[in-house]
Chain A
Amino acid sequence: MIAPRGGARSGTPAGGVPSHGSRPHEAAHRRAAATTRPDASPYLDRRPPVAALAPTVLVAVLGFTMAGLLWVRQANSVADTGRAIAHLLERREALLMQRAAARVALAQATDPGGLADRARGLGFVPVEEAAVEVVVVTADAAPAGSAALAEPGRRSPLELIVPPSDVPTADADEPSLSAIPLSFWQALEPSP
């Protein structure tokens, strides 16, 4: 068996397929020699050298493509999310403005001076304290015979909130409700 020169130069084992540097007649000679080897693959030995690297290149191209697709997908997702964020920021700013405007409008609508003006415009006049008659209402204990009304499930909400035993009784030392001044709103009237 003759060891090919090209194989030795290219570092391939003896009897292997040289990848380059062979002359046509030498290659034909080596091909003929290879076909005589019992363990040689006729298919491989007939492939051109570029075909031997094809799987590697294919894997690389596929990997590159997949990574690129991942990149594009990622970038697309990022762009969508970023656009959504930008949109939400604009929406947020608009809502903040609307909220601020609503707050200001509410503050102006509940301004005591403004309310007084509107009331006057509607024909109301400030109340004089002397013109107010205060009616003091005291909650007496339930009269006899009314127990029949207090059936289970039919108790009045007020009875639950203020049981008769907790109702304060009139006391001579206690101040009367008429002592609550009315001048708070009067003070909000524009000074002359």
Chain B
Amino acid sequence: MRGRVDYPRLPWLGFALFGAMALVAGRVVWLSARPASAAGAAWEPSTEVLPQRGAMWDRRGRLVATESYDRYEVILEKAKLPDPAGFLAAASPHLGARADFVRQQLDDPMVKWVTVFSYAQREAADAVKALAPAEAVFVRPLASRHYALGEAAGHLTGFVDANGNGEYGIEAAYNAQLIGVKGHTPGPFGTDPRAFVPPREGTDLVLTIDRDLQLAVWRILAAHIGTQDATGGTVIVLEPSTGDVLASVSYPAYDPNNFGAADVNRYIDPAVGAYYPPGSVLKPLSLAAAIDGGILSPNSTYDDTATVFYQGVTIPNQDYTAHGAATMWQMLQLSLNVGAVHVADTLGSARFYRALDAFGLGRPTGIDVAGEAPGMIVQPGAEGWVGSNFAYNAFGQGLDVTPLQMAAAMATIANDGVRMTPRVVRQLRADGAPPHDVAPVPVAQVISAATARTMRTMLESVVAETATGAEMAHHTSGGKTGTSELFDSDGDGEDDLIASFCGFFPVAKPRAVILVKLDRPVGERGSRVAAPIFAEVAEVVAGALGVVGDKAEGDE
């Protein structure tokens, strides 16, 4: 019989086993029951899962901007590169300004991996890849942005910088929606599914523009910039009932697909971010306010004496001619500055500036693109104000507005007196959510519908009598020309001119408001230069929108 053996520490072993078992069981329960977000937070480091930036579509569902993955990161493993000097010599033509950096990295013994390109185009990436052994070079596609309209809509869309952030235009204004939400995984080797947070893809935007219309208007503007030898220009097409921007082009432009090659001064959209004195295009606004307030009627007359002396300055008509007892019809048709001063003086400075404010001049319109400028209208009593300002302001000189402000003001008349907030996005399509329609935003009833109709009739007479270049073949149209002066803005010793026309069609129920502005054209006067462009653009817009002609056959 064997002798009995005692194990005095055996109970402690039992306790230890129980403790370990409890720990394991607890850990299993903890892993199973813990929420994913807490699990994810515990993992470090994590790997980001980048969402795809939202795309942009035009109002008919055609692509305007999307991710394209046509930029590449090229990395070189030095240990597997047999002849660094030979590689550098062969690759230098493709490296450009980056050649010095790559040479420095190749010479540095502490560097094992050399980023040859961090954001290269395919041709350059392929060329460099072909110069090194396959096992030494790694090429990774990177998300980049493709803009289907290129420079035809560069100002409107803006672009995405190398960090993935939207800059200028719609890209900047809707960056938060477009960029999406990053997801993350536990790390390159982590496998805990609870630590995985999926990304939320960027929201797609449905724009108000028509892609083909935008392109057509761009080509029209570019052609006239060439023939008029103008230094720049802008065309805006608005739908007055909604404030939708159907097209907005400016020249000179830049291609957002290759924004780095453009002058940074071109990034700002002149349609919303540049000022200009509107000139006589402003006259309908003060007259509308006077008629709406019952102060004047279309048939009110005044004694037109060719010039008017006001607060120490003499304001002449543009034709330097006295027209005698002139009506408001004539004041608009002949664009008489003396009459414009009369209207503003009759209205009074307080009501005059209040009217400009009500029409949205001198303040941002609220359009949903980045970089909108407020304009500049010096009010009475403000610093820099002199009495003669009022007289100049009466015919659109001495104050600065943006082209969009002017177009939106004319759209107020076209929309029966209701001012709408211009917009470029009509629908948001978020990942996994139903589409969200962006409702048009009315700002105010600035003038009555009756006054607006009266003004449209008067502006139709302007086209019929003087601005005949704005006449359309099958549609009635109305509008006002403008020729404004810039005080020697380019330093050539001569004042520069801006020719513009802002109008609408058809007159009875306008479907589109079109502003045309040319900077320093050879043709000079707005009626001769900008009005025909209006007609050309309007015909295209009518075709795009399917607007049936409203002119009687005999009127053509």
Interface residues of A (CB under 8 A from B): 19-21, 24, 27, 48-50, 53, 56-57, 60-61, 63-64, 67-68, 70-71, 74, 78-79, 81-83, 85-86, 89, 96-97, 100-101, 103-104, 106-108, 110-113, 175-177, 179-185, 187-188, 190-191
Q: What's the count of A-B pairs with C-beta under 8 Å?
A: 169
Q: Are B68 and A104 in contact (CB under 8 A)?
A: yes
- Verify if B110 is at the interface (C-beta below 8 Å from A): no
Kindly identify which residue among B55, B69, B191, B215 contacts A112, using a CB–CB cutoff of 8 Å.
Answer: B215
Contacts of B543 in A (CB 8 A): 180-185
- When the two chains form their complex, are residues B6 and A53 in contact, meaning their CB atoms are under 8 A apart? no
Q: Are A64 and B20 in contact (CB under 8 A)?
A: yes
Q: How far is the CB of B508 from chain A (nearest CB, A)?
A: 11
Q: CA separation between A187 and B69, bound complex, in Å? A: 32
Q: Give Cα A58–Cα B148 distance, bound, in whole angstroms.
A: 73
> Given B49, B212, B551, which contacts A188 in the complex, CB threshold below 8 Å?
B212
Q: Which of B26-34, B164-172, B238-246, B356-364 is the contact stretch?
A: B26-34
Contacts of B512 in A (CB 8 A): none
* Bound-complex Cα distance A60 to B546 (A): 84
Report chain A residues within 8 Å CB of B536: 183, 187
Q: Which residues of B lie under 8 Å from residue A188 when comparing CB positions?
A: 212, 215-216, 219
B324 within 8 A of A: no
Q: Are A49 and B7 in contact (CB under 8 A)?
A: yes
The 5 closest A-B pairs by CB, nearest first: A179-B549, A82-B191, A184-B543, A20-B6, A60-B17
Q: Check A61–B17 contact: CB distance below 8 A.
A: yes
Q: B25, B146, B539, B550: which contacts A181 (Cβ < 8 A)?
A: B539
CB-based nearest A residue for B26: A67
Q: Does B475 contact A (CB under 8 A)?
A: yes
Can you list 18 contacts pairing A with B, beta carbon distance less than 8 Å? A53-B11, A60-B21, A63-B21, A63-B25, A67-B21, A67-B25, A67-B28, A89-B185, A100-B67, A107-B148, A179-B551, A180-B542, A180-B548, A184-B212, A187-B220, A190-B219, A191-B219, A191-B223
- B13: interface (CB < 8 Å): yes
A contact residues around B153 at 8 Å (CB): none
Q: What is the total number of residues of chain B having a CB less than 8 Å from a CB of chain A?
A: 66
B192 at the interface (CB under 8 A from A): yes
Q: Which residues of A contact B550 (CB under 8 A)?
A: 175, 179
Q: Is the CB of A49 within 8 A of B6?
A: yes
Q: Which of B31, B32, B474 contacts A179 (CB 8 A)?
A: B474
Question: Are B3 and A56 in contact (CB-based, < 8 A)?
Answer: no
Beyond A82-B192, A111-B148, A188-B219, is A19–B212 a contact (Cβ under 8 Å)?
no
Most buried by B among A61, A64, A108: A64
Is the CB–CB distance between B14 and A96 below 8 Å?
no
Chain B contacts for A81, CB-based, 8 A: 191, 193
Contact status B66-A103, CB under 8 Å? yes
Given A112-B215, A113-B215, A190-B219, A48 and B17 contact (CB-CB distance below 8 Å): no
Interface flag for B493 (CB, 8 Å): no
**Known contacts A103-B63, A181-B473; 5 further A-B pairs (Cβ under 8 A):** A85-B191, A89-B185, A179-B551, A180-B549, A190-B219
Interface class of chain A by DSSP: helix
- Evaluate contact between B31 and A97: CB separation under 8 angstroms: no
Contact indicator A184/B24 (Cβ below 8 Å): no
* Given known A101-B69, A180-B546, contact A49–B191 (CB-CB < 8 A): no
Residue numbers of B with Cβ under 8 A of A are 3-8, 10-11, 13-14, 17-18, 20-21, 24-25, 27-28, 31-32, 49, 52, 55, 62-63, 66-69, 141, 146, 148, 185-186, 190-194, 196, 212-213, 215-217, 219-220, 222-223, 226, 473-475, 536, 539-540, 542-544, 546-551, 553
Tell me the bound Cα distance from A88 to B149 in angstroms. Answer: 33
Bound Cα distance A24, B20 (Å)? 36
User: What's the Cα separation between A95 and B18 when bound, in Å?
Assistant: 51
A104 in complex: contacting residue of B7, B62, B146, B551, CB < 8 Å:
B146
Bound state CA distance, A100 and B69, in angstroms?
Answer: 7
Whole-angstrom distance from the CB of A31 to the nearest CB of chain B? 10
- By a CB distance below 8 angstroms, the chain B residues around A177 are 548
Would you call A107 and B62 a contact (CB within 8 A)?
A: yes
Q: A78-B191, A181-B542, A181-B543 are in contact. Are A64 and B216 (CB under 8 A)?
A: no
Please measure, in the bound complex, the distance between the C-alpha atom of A72 and the C-alpha atom of B5, giving whole angstroms: 36
Known: A24-B3, A67-B25, A68-B24. A60 touches B14 (CB 8 A): yes
Flag if B24 contacts A191 (CB, 8 Å): no
* Complex alpha-carbon distance, A177 and B196, angstroms: 60
| B69 lies within 8 A of A50 (CB) | no
Tell me, rounded to whole Å, the shortest Cβ–Cβ distance linking B452 to chain A.
22
Complex Cα–Cα for A86 and B32 (A): 21
- The minimal Cβ–Cβ distance linking B297 to chain A, given in whole angstroms, is 28
- Chain A residues within 8 Å of B220, by CB: 187
Q: B3's closest neighbor in chain A, by CB?
A: A24
> Is the CB–CB distance between A175 and B193 below 8 Å?
no
Contact across chains for B63 and A107 when beta carbons are under 8 A apart: yes
Q: Is the CB of A48 within 8 A of B475?
A: no
Among A50, A67, A179, A185, the residue within 8 A (CB) of B10 is A50
